[in-house]
């Protein structure tokens, strides 16, 4: 999972924040949302269990709640 609150990007794995970075200038284009593909030709090689899109950055508590709720469904 990844969050962006307008200032900082955070990568989350198994309910824990593992990397943060300040954001640079927004790189927004008129293209479709793509999950599992970079802007070029790199693709995610694996499976997705759950995809959720929010109109705001979730808090760390909300991320932990989502992780704990869905983890048994996917054997994590």
What are the pLDDT tens digits along the chain (76 aa)? 788 887 888 888 888 889 988 876 666 566 677 888 876 778 888 888 788 888 888 898 998 998 898 888 888 7
The reported pLDDT for the residue numbered 62 is 92
Alpha-helix runs per DSSP H in the chain = 60-71
What pLDDT score does 72 carry?
85
Is 9 buried (19+), middle (13-18) or exposed (0-12) by CB count in 10 A? middle
Q: How many CB atoms lie within 10 A of CB 71?
A: 13
> Nearest CA to 8 among 26, 18, 20, 25?
20
Note if the pTM is more than 0.75: no
Four-CA torsion 19, 48, 54, 32, nearest 10 degrees: 100
């Amino acid at each position: 999972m990844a969050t962006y609150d307008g200032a900082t990007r955070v990568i989350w794995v198994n309910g824990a924040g593992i990397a943060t970075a300040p954001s640079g200038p927004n790189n927004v284009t008129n293209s479709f949302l793509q999950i599992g593909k970079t802007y070029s030709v790199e693709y995610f090689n694996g499976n997705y269990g759950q995809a959720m899109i929010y109109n705001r950055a979730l808090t760390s508590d909300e991320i932990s709640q989502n992780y704990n709720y869905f983890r048994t469904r996917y054997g994590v």
